[in-house]
Amino acid sequence: MENEKVQAPERQRSRERNTIKDYFALGDLFGYFFRVFRKPDPNHKPNFNLRMMHGINKISIIMFLFALIVMIVRFISRM
C-alpha cells in the first residue's frame, strides 16, 4: 500500500499537460549562450578536454548564427 502512495504523484506528474510557455522557454538556451562567451574565471583552471569542448561549442554557435543570417537574407532577397 505504501508503494502505491509513493508512485501516485509520479503518475499524476506524467499526465500534466505542457503549456505553450513550456515549449518556448528559451531561458536555459540564452543562459548557456552568454555563459560560453564570458571571460574565464582566473581562479578555476579547466582541463584540456573542457577547453576543447567549449571551443567547439563557440564555433558551432557562430556557424549556426551565420547560417541563420544567410538563410534569412536569401529568403528576403527572393521576395
Mean pLDDT score, 7-15: 55
pLDDT tens track for 16-63: 777 777 767 777 767 666 666 666 667 777 788 888 998 899 899 999
Q: In a 10 Å sphere around its CB, with 0-12 CB exposed, 13-18 middle and 19+ buried, how is residue 61 labelled?
A: middle
Q: Which domain holds residue 18?
A: 2-77
Closest CA to 52 of 42, 41, 44, 60: 60
Segment among 10-14, 37-41, 69-73 with least mean pLDDT:
10-14
pLDDT grade for 74, boundaries at 50, 70 and 90:
very high
pTM of the predicted structure, to 2 decimals? 0.48
Task: Report how many domains make up the chain.
Answer: 1
Mean pLDDT score, 5-18: 59
Q: At what angle do helices 48-77 and 27-36 cross, to 10 degrees?
A: 120
